[in-house]
Structure 1
């Protein structure tokens, strides 16, 4: 194939002018200007008759079929192009989740497939700074979950999405002997939207000194060296049913096991007495320290007599200071944030509320691992230590 010859714009226009005068044949024009083929002259004449004068300026291999040459676009047309580009960019980037610092191949492929009928693939790639060849390479690959991602999803699903990325990292090391940075685990959990529900933070303040009703033998020492050494108890509200319910719970600080709980539609002293009797059943409770707040149920004559009869030593927080009983307060907060949705307030029936509490108590004792228990559940830790 012969080499293509470029004819200047002035030559093309001069040939057309002489041809229109009718004084020269095609062969004469070819000899004068060094044109190799008469079809070239015919093409230039066709452009002139069709009003496509802009095509005289096109270089070899470049066809200005849109009717405008490189220098013919005015400022308004250039501005319109820029506006269209930024509108496209805004629409495409709005579909990208996260901070957009890096392009996730799976997400990018989905975006291209969704918008390729509206925008050119090349334009979309340029918008994200991705080479077109890279896009086609990504499209040909399989983008399913990796082995690590499958393990993380399995752990999260098994624990009903209630644990954070630090606990998942510890379980990967314990159960699968996989060592990975917690930030990697967090990024994968965010990618698949399996983060745990975060409980709301309480306002931090230091309560003033208050009169001690019963000596505070616990003194915020929440560590126990053996089972049935230190218990904590409290009452919390359950405002999710048809009417207000109240939950009384007793926890063993040795392994954070929930020993007993009771639910009632009132917070009379019978509620805490029923919980106490359930916790004492089948256990040696002599000289157990039972810590509570200064609620009227715990300072009542009946409750104090019941604990004294069983050889239990009662201990109480300072008035208005929830931090003296922080462990059981934290547990009740976790129960509400993990098992109940704030939007459920007043929308469930009381039977459903009781079932959800029962389900969570089983999960907490038998399924949920704790970092302080070497990633074991409360029941598992107690059995292993026995």
Structure 2
């Protein structure tokens, strides 16, 4: 029975193919597909895109006008909703101009926002030309000086920093220095940082693995964890599911936010590809893996959950080793400008290099794909 590929995997493969860095035949081979399947996926995507364009082109002027009015009403509702949430925060003094910039970045015209909120465009553009006040400018210099002082001696807290500032030509009260050090995370190494001593939540599963990362057959033990990496657009989070038997990444998902849905999607992709029964899924005590959605997904697919201890990275060492390889081979190779570029690089490395080219000594110098293929017959006979 052919493998039912997920929509996320299909889109990633199509994006890689559209970059044109390799022939379609090579890309299909790297991702374990046939050329016919890859061409069909690309054709389906192009038909959907062209169909949408054709529909837009065939719209009447009346329909376009109604859509324009509806879009304007949606923009006005979004402005009022965002403004209410923005003004509800404890901000003194309340400054509404940054909200105009945020809405403009989301596609809401400045003229519409100014009209709905009742102020002139000229006032907004004057602020945009010179948004930094003299107070902010002086505070920025004070923070830079505080960082330099703290770097010279990390034991210095805000009191010592305030005493050292006059030597750098800056006069500021101790309360002001305390506020700026707190806001920018400048702490003495001996201080007890508020908010960093929170206790983790209770485990929802027992530790069924106890650092024994071995499996006699596929889908006997899976490991899962989440890693992150920054780009110029923001962080990209990867949740991966690894089969201990062959080391193969049987499911993964990427998103711009580390939500429970990220872990659930990765698990669902693994289940769709492998169709396991009674598999033990081991993770750490992250909130995503303790969430109700993830626990219900395990139960729905007949999987058994397992969790390691708090602060014990060795309890999930086999998964950490994969993330270490990913860090060295992809994440640290360059600075990534967009999440899409990093996403395609991760997908390509997993499917092309890690699965099909990187040999592992514990597998007898075979790749994960080769190891599973060679041993499938023996396991079936047994």
TM-score computed with the length of structure 2 as normaliser:
0.44
Larger Cα-atom Rg: 1
